[in-house]
Structure 1
Amino acid sequence: MNLTEHLATIDWSFPNLSNSGIHSLHWYPATYVAAIPGTLIPAFTQKNDVILDPFNGSGTTGVEAIRLGRKFIGIDTNPIALLMSEAKLYFPEPKTLKKQIDFIVEESEGLFGRAEVDPHPHHDELKAWYHPDTLFTLNRILTSIIKTDNLQIRKCLLAIFSGILKNASSQGRHWGWVCDNVKPKPFEIISKDALSIFLNAANEYVKLTELSHKAVQVHVEAETRKQTRARYKLLAGDCVTNMKSIKSEYVDFIVTSPPYYGVADYIKSQRLSYLWFDKDELAPERLGFRDFEKLRSFESGARSNRTRKNSHETYMKFIAAFFEQSFRVLKQGSSMALVVGESQARASTTDELIAAAQGQGFTLALRKERDIKLSRRRLMAKVKCEDILIFIKN
């Protein structure tokens, strides 16, 4: 049985598996189960090979690539996606991280009055999402995080903070309500213990990142955190533009999931994070709300763009450019694996995607349908199923 025949026998829906451990650090829409890259990467690559995910998202491919001893390049237009990915891949020193967490808790538990913490610049909008006490505590936590001198530790702490914002809010419904800017009704506003929520999430991150690096050392024995960090690179911005900076035939394998046409809003789903991160002190890190609408305009295939004139044509033009660059950066004889899906309510795209890839010179080696869990289907514009597509650069 050759590799393609073997891959065809796999149940790619992985019905009994879900993302856990460091993969669960921060919620993100339309992610795929880690077992997909975890199965594909060993099948198509060797240690130290270069794995590319041009639509990095929450970093699922990157975590698996680094765990398995490969090098990784991730690209995304969404700074919040890159922030959470950085936290998953950086592996901070536990003592340094714990010391900074203790400092944040100490400052946030301080007995000084409310006037000593400047109100958040978006206080009036945030109070529509949070109880005043919760809002005050979150602002105090963020103010303390921003004081962190070490940039990478600060990013890890910001990722933890970003990850609790939905649960700390009074909007108890699923992410789509936040995505569509549906604020809780006044009678739904309830106080939540933001400091405990943050501290629990921070302690969990310390534990998970330690376990995650131990999982790396299973495949790369005795590798230090510093050595592990040297194996990944995250690039901000449009994938086609960033891929042009990668040398031809440099990449050994591409594993990714292009945005499904008209299905998810990746930028809008992180609305609360962009709102909180719009502070002058964070402007150099480009995490702020001031870029929110601009970033949305760059988001290919977003659900909110589905009614725009020529949106489908624009999406397919972008996909064609993506395949052109993918073919160029891949080594001869190497492969590209895509997880693709489409909404029953939108124009069909999977056959067009295949045709576009073939038009750039790829050969389709495998197309295998995978079912998705009902709970995930409800959140993704009625996506019934997905396909695993494997292409070869002959």
Structure 2
Amino acid sequence: MKAREAAQMAPRFRILSPKRNKLLQTGWEGFFPYYAGFPEVFARELLQSAELPNGAVILDPWNGSGTTTYAASGLGLSSIGIDLNPVMIIVARARLLPPTEADHLRPLAATILSHAYSTPPILDPNEALLGWFKPSTAAFIRGIEQNIRRSLVGNMTKSPDGIHLDKISGTAATLYVALFAACRKLVAPFRSSNPTWLRVPKETDARVAATKAKVAQYFAANVRDMSGALAATLDADLRIANPPRAGECEISLSDTASMKLRKGSVDFVLTSPPYCTRIDYTAATRIELAVLGPLLTISARALGKQMIGSTQVPSTLIEVDESWGKTCARFLRALRKHPSKASGGYYYRTHLDYFHKMSRSIERMSHALKPGGHAVLVIQDSYYKDIHNDLPEIISEIGVTHGLSLKQRKNFHLRSMSDINPGRRSYERPSGATEAVLCFVK
């Protein structure tokens, strides 16, 4: 059967709301509440309705906290998750920890805390944790991290050619996530109304001074609760007759604009690319990046510049590409002419950077997709001042440029993060945002 004929016979997908619901983030899922992305039930229902063949490979090129790879694994499907943020690699790896490992977590955490108490490290003057914590608190946190690293990060992760976070064990990743959560709780005074933003303290701000006992209490409680939640998933699996064997999963640290995947190696793509709303995804994980400092070879600022949707102006001049489509061209012309400050300079150039990286990424994604394969993307529109950035339509046109055809679309109206910005009241525009689920076929 020809690929085009097979595509015409493909089932219509079962599409639930892609917006994360805090009420659904319970148990094991409740430990991965990172901003953006879609809920596990959305991914699971959609993948089940796709009627994928045995041996099918699922790709999420913006894997984030690993919802797609987690859902695919639970359905016995093979998957590939790619992300540029090292923090998200750790989180996605932790999420895949087999339930049979639940009983090992608490004894490991107790040993790690014991070593952290007995052998406190000498802090480097450039220690990133000092940006939020007093020296004694920062030193104890670094001691916990150091002992996780020494105990659980082996030669597969630490090799002569650098650190391979995509090879870190699920157990090590889970303990790192427990430490992330402890640090996030401690730096609560530096959160803002925007859930993606953790404020960097000014020189005059008081840094957090928490006792060793308090830090240890938070870390141990997180490990205890994660162990219990993971054990509960094992109990649930035992009540199911012939549960599917977990699918193989590869988590990779890579830039989607240059990712190297074999042509036609992927059956199905399920993903949510970064929105064009000037969200700094590295700023959202500042404290986690500080915790991971000794394992990183790149600064948070340099990492932020590589991200799609970077708030930093690109160092090279990018020209508008007609392959981005007519909708994108109209939006960019309107943005460049807008009378507000820096519209024709800073904001215009950062949007060019966004569309340049997005087009290259979709081209690489399409290259990896098999003929007749499907790609489902969750895309949210936005506004620049009073100019509608119809990102779902722009992505649809970019997809066509790179060999994809839009077969199904479902819209959901949601509250937008921009609604909490007082500046939006200066411009006439609707409240909320449209989050579109776009279903393409190759």
Q: Are positions 1:334 and 2:373 aligned together?
A: yes
Aligned to 1:234: 251
Aligned to 1:106: 114
Q: Are positions 1:311 and 2:311 aligned together?
A: no
Which residue identity is paired with 1:231?
E
Deviation at 1:13, TM superposition (A): 5.0
Q: Are positions 1:164 and 2:170 aligned together?
A: no
Range with greater deviation from structure 2 (142-151 or 159-168): 142-151
Deviation at 1:185, TM superposition (A): 6.1
Aligned to 2:93: 86
Distance 1:60 1:363 in 2: 25
Distance 1:150 1:125 in 2: 21
- The answer to whether the 8 Å contact 1:262/1:305 transfers is no
Aligned to 1:273: 288
Which of 283, 286, 292 aligns to 2:300? It is 292
Identity %: 20
Kindly provide the CA deviation profile for residues 75-118 of structure 1, in whole angstroms up to 9, marking residues without a partner as x: 0111110011011113272344333112023234x4x5xxx522
Which residue identity is paired with 1:209?
L
Report SS of the residue matched to 2:24.
coil
Report SS of the residue matched to 1:366.
strand
Which of 385, 388, 391 aligns to 2:437? It is 388
Cα 1:351–1:146 change in 2 (3 A) is same
- The answer to whether the 8 Å contact 2:379/2:392 transfers is yes
Range with greater deviation from structure 2 (137-146 or 251-260): 137-146
Aligned to 1:206: 227
- The answer to whether the 8 Å contact 1:369/1:385 transfers is yes
- The answer to whether the 8 Å contact 1:69/1:216 transfers is no
Which residue identity is paired with 1:254?
V
Please show how residues 175-214 of structure 1 align to structure 2 within 5 Å: 178-182=197-201, 186=205, 189=208, 191=210, 193-212=214-233
- The answer to whether the 8 Å contact 1:344/1:383 transfers is no
- The answer to whether the 8 Å contact 2:396/2:406 transfers is yes
Greater RCO between the two (CA within 8 Å, min separation 6)?
1
RMSD (Å) for aligned C-alpha atoms: 3.4
Q: Are positions 1:155 and 2:173 aligned together?
A: yes
Question: Which structure has the larger Rg?
Answer: 2
Which residue identity is paired with 2:75?
L
Distance 1:51 1:345 in 2: 34
Report SS of the residue matched to 1:270.
helix
Distance 1:22 1:73 in 2: 21
Which of 360, 383, 395 aligns to 1:344? It is 383
- The answer to whether the 8 Å contact 2:17/2:42 transfers is no
Distance 2:251 2:235 in 1: 22
- The answer to whether the 8 Å contact 2:408/2:438 transfers is yes
Aligned to 1:366: 408
Deviation at 1:38, TM superposition (A): 1.5
Cα 1:105–1:377 change in 2 (3 A) is farther
Which residue identity is paired with 1:341?
Q
Cα 1:377–1:160 change in 2 (3 A) is farther
- TM normalised by structure 2 equals 0.73
Distance 1:51 1:162 in 2: 28
Kindly provide the CA deviation profile for residues 205-259 of structure 1, in whole angstroms up to 9, marking residues without a partner as x: 2223334456667789367xxx74x7000111112422x332x222121000011
Aligned to 1:59: 66
Distance 2:62 2:90 in 1: 14
Distance 1:320 1:297 in 2: 17
Deviation at 1:270, TM superposition (A): 1.1
Distance 2:72 2:267 in 1: 12
Q: Are positions 1:251 and 2:272 aligned together?
A: no
Range with greater deviation from structure 2 (99-108 or 149-158): 149-158
- The answer to whether the 8 Å contact 2:65/2:89 transfers is yes
Distance 2:51 2:308 in 1: 29
Aligned to 2:122: 119
Q: Are positions 1:24 and 2:27 aligned together?
A: no
Distance 2:22 2:188 in 1: 32
Report SS of the residue matched to 1:148.
helix
Cα 1:29–1:386 change in 2 (3 A) is same
- The answer to whether the 8 Å contact 2:85/2:253 transfers is yes
How many aligned residue pairs are there?
A: 372
Structure 2 gap segments, 5+ residues each: 1-8, 155-168, 315-345, 425-430
- The answer to whether the 8 Å contact 2:11/2:49 transfers is no
Distance 1:186 1:314 in 2: 34
Report SS of the residue matched to 1:386.
strand
Aligned to 2:398: 356
Which residue identity is paired with 1:57?
G
- The answer to whether the 8 Å contact 1:337/1:389 transfers is yes
Structure 1 gap segments, 5+ residues each: none
